[in-house]
Amino acid sequence: MSESTFGSPLSSAPSDDLEAIDVGSATRLLSGGVVALVTSTWRGESNVIPISWHTPLSSSPPLVGVSLEQSRYSTDMLSHAGEFVINIPPKELANHVGYLGSLSGEDVNKFEATQLETFSGRRVAAPLISDCCAWIECEIVERIQTGDHLFFIGLILSAQAHSAIHDGNSFLPKSETTPLHFLGGNSYSTLRESFVARAPSASDAPEEILQSMIEEDLELSREVREKKEEELGKLAKELEKGNVIDTKTLESELGIDLGSIDNLDLSKGIVLDDSNS
């Protein structure tokens, strides 16, 4: 793939302080979303794994997706269980999240190791973690292999959240308990501020901005056209006088083929081009 050029009116040269990121680590630039503790149950055994690779997929039907590395024990658990729960932990569970990520459910019962309390879901067998602030129960409707991960698409069967931290539309950042967000490594954060984006005025509307850009382009085109006409007028006068002209240089500067201009008689002057230079 060739490098990008910056000749478009919509483009500009990159700033000098940009840092190249290894493509294998580029997904970390998408960090910052809420942490999910994904629980599942199979053959009477329950498991939990913290993940940050999850996303909404559809409103109708309501679908979400979670991505797990194929080598994980939890990936096998979800594949066999056919269902899972997304538990959204608050800041108070940050240490539990980090600890759970260091354990394998194949070697230890994570619920016994962490003493996390649970309660039963409305629609699935997987446990819901009591100290979390929101829960989404899902049935797996599709699995997709994506490189070294398996992407599980879940149909939402039930969802719940504490009213103190959610108003029915979004999380409330000023509540005492807010969801835990993952930044990468062992770094986490919480919501600290909410704000409402300003509605654009008429002058901010995209069509107004586009119209302004078009007008600027037309003005530039008119200036270029006028300059070409001026230069061609000077050239015609030089030809009338029988002076020497360099067609190669002029064509490069003006961006036109002088031989294609009907009212320009090149036979009257002394023409320098590639054939006689």
Segment 194-205, tens digit of pLDDT: 777 766 566 666
Task: Check whether residue 113 and residue 235 sit in a common domain.
Answer: no
Q: With CA atoms as reference, report the closest residue to 136 among 115, 165, 157, 109.
A: 157
Task: Check whether residue 47 and residue 171 sit in a common domain.
Answer: yes
Task: Check whether residue 246 and residue 153 sit in a common domain.
Answer: no
> For 70-101, what is each residue's pLDDT tens digit?
999 999 999 999 999 999 999 899 889 988 87
Does the residue 45 lie in any domain? yes
Task: Check whether residue 249 and residue 172 sit in a common domain.
Answer: no
Task: Check whether residue 156 and residue 227 sit in a common domain.
Answer: no
> For 206-254, what is each residue's pLDDT tens digit?
666 666 767 777 776 777 777 777 777 777 777 677 666 666 666 666 6
Binned at pLDDT 50, 70 and 90, residue 1 comes out as very low
Query: In this model, does residue 124 exceed pLDDT 90?
Result: yes
Does the residue 57 lie in any domain? yes
Task: Check whether residue 181 and residue 208 sit in a common domain.
Answer: no
- Given 189, 218, 239, which residue is the final one in a domain? 189
Task: Check whether residue 167 and residue 220 sit in a common domain.
Answer: no
Does the residue 38 lie in any domain? yes
Does the residue 237 lie in any domain? yes
Task: Check whether residue 222 and residue 92 sit in a common domain.
Answer: no
Task: Check whether residue 160 and residue 45 sit in a common domain.
Answer: yes
- Given 165, 189, 213, which residue is the final one in a domain? 189
CATH of the domain at 75: 2.30.110.10
Does the residue 128 lie in any domain? yes
Distance between CA atoms of residues 167 and 181, nearest Å: 19
Q: Judge if pTM exceeds 0.85.
A: no
Query: In this model, does residue 27 exceed pLDDT 50?
Result: yes
For the chain, how many structural domains are there in total? 2
Q: Which long-range contacts (CB under 8 A, 24 or more apart) does 270-273 make?
A: 270/242, 270/243, 270/244, 270/245, 271/244, 271/245, 271/247, 272/244, 272/245, 272/246, 272/247, 272/248, 273/246, 273/247, 273/248
Domain enclosing residue 62, as ranges:
27-189
